[in-house]
Amino acid sequence: MKCVNALLVTLLLSVSVLLAQDAKPETKSADDSISRDFRSRVFIVENRDPHNLAAAIKLLGSGAKGADLSVNDALHTITVRDYPENIAAMADALRRLDQPASPEPAIALQMWVLVGSKLPVGSLKVPQELASVVKSLSGSLVFSYYGLISSTEYRTTAGENIEGSGIVEPYALGLSAKARGPMFFDYTLRRLTTTAGEKPGVAIEHFRFVLHYPMPQGSNLRTRDVGFNLPISIPAGEKRVIGTHLGDKALILVVSASVVP
């Protein structure tokens, strides 16, 4: 009988322990507590690249587990999940950063293509605005005669590129009637920027100009490419002169540019 009572007491104690374990209150992990404190917010980007803005505000996040920042290109939005104070800091930063970009300054550019020769160049004339340039060239080069082959004007903005082409009449280079092969030029001006100063000038990172020039070779013509490929800087109010030999003549480019307010 004593053995039965002892066994009964042992069973009762075991049941009590199991019940006590089942009755223990449920505990939450630290991560669950953090998650309950998070908030989410969607920011609509109106003026700038959302990826650039997201990179700028990323360090304002808490970095806590579960915090997140994502960009939607199609909707132009930034979605943030973080503590309220971090989201508030991001919102303040975005208000200051997501502003319209300042318009790039306008650039007025003009380019003249001249030929220099020891002999008269027919009916080709030089515009009055280049008189001082021609006078300076005559004093420093062996060529006494100059004529205008082509001129062009552009209105563009900083950061843009310019491309163009043109035709040159054979007589302009003293070619005979039978030497009327295809004569043309093309040019590319890349990465136009403004230079600092009281009167800002213009810099061209890559200035390429090529004249495709037919050269007599026996009874045939051989096309020769003559030109330039270099960076140039044009101070405000000045004209930049670039030249190279063209057989017994000279190919001369005069470029001016100004920043338009």
Whole-Å CA distances, 111 to 18, 73, 206, 257: 96, 41, 15, 9
- For residue range 56-112, list pLDDT tens digits in order: 999 999 999 999 999 999 999 999 999 999 999 999 999 999 998 877 788 999 999
Instruction: Select from 86, 101, 116 the last residue of a domain.
Output: 101
For residue 39, being part of any structural domain is answered with yes
Say yes or no: 71 and 177 in one domain. no
pLDDT (mean) for 33-50: 87
pLDDT (mean) for 15-20: 46
CB 162 within 8 A of CB 109: yes
Map tokens 């587990």 to a residue. Answer: 65
Instruction: Select from 61, 82, 101 the last residue of a domain.
Output: 101
- For residue range 167-183, list pLDDT tens digits in order: 887 776 766 555 556 67
Residue 154 C-alpha from the chain's centroid: 19
pLDDT (mean) for 129-154: 90
For residue 15, being part of any structural domain is answered with no
The torsion angles phi and psi of 251, rounded to 5 degrees, stand at: -100, 125
Q: In the prediction, which pLDDT does 102 show?
A: 75
Say yes or no: 164 and 243 in one domain. yes
Q: Rounded distance, CA 59 to CA 132, Å? A: 58
For residue 111, being part of any structural domain is answered with yes
Say yes or no: 34 and 150 in one domain. no
Query: What residues are paired with 228 via a beta bridge?
Result: 209
Q: Rounded distance, CA 82 to CA 67, Å? A: 5
For residue 139, being part of any structural domain is answered with yes
Q: CA quadruple 75, 78, 84, 85: dihedral positive or negative?
A: negative
Say which residue, 132 or 32, is predicted with more confidence: 132
Q: Which of 252, 239, 254 is nearest to 145 (CA)?
A: 252
Say which residue, 120 or 229, is predicted with more confidence: 229
Domain of 53: which CATH number? 3.30.1370.120
Range of the domain at 128: 106-260
Q: In what order do the strands lie in the sheet with 145-157?
A: 145-157, 106-117, 249-260, 239-246
Instruction: Select from 49, 79, 101 the last residue of a domain.
Output: 101
Say yes or no: 88 and 193 in one domain. no
For residue 78, being part of any structural domain is answered with yes
Residue 158 C-alpha from the chain's centroid: 9
DSSP conformation class of 226:
E
CB 79 within 8 A of CB 69: yes
Total count of domains within the chain: 2
Say yes or no: 226 and 170 in one domain. yes
Say yes or no: 173 and 74 in one domain. no
For residue 7, being part of any structural domain is answered with no
Q: In the prediction, which pLDDT does 34 show?
A: 57
Say yes or no: 92 and 221 in one domain. no
Q: Residue 147 CB: number of other CB atoms within 10 A?
A: 20
Q: CA quadruple 142, 146, 148, 153: dihedral positive or negative?
A: positive
Say yes or no: 132 and 36 in one domain. no
- Share above pLDDT 90 across residues of the chain, in percent, rounded to a whole number: 47
Task: List b or e across 82-121, with b for residues whose CB sees 16 or more CB atoms inside 10 angstroms.
Answer: bbeebbebbeeebeeebeeeeeeeebebebbbbbbbeeeb
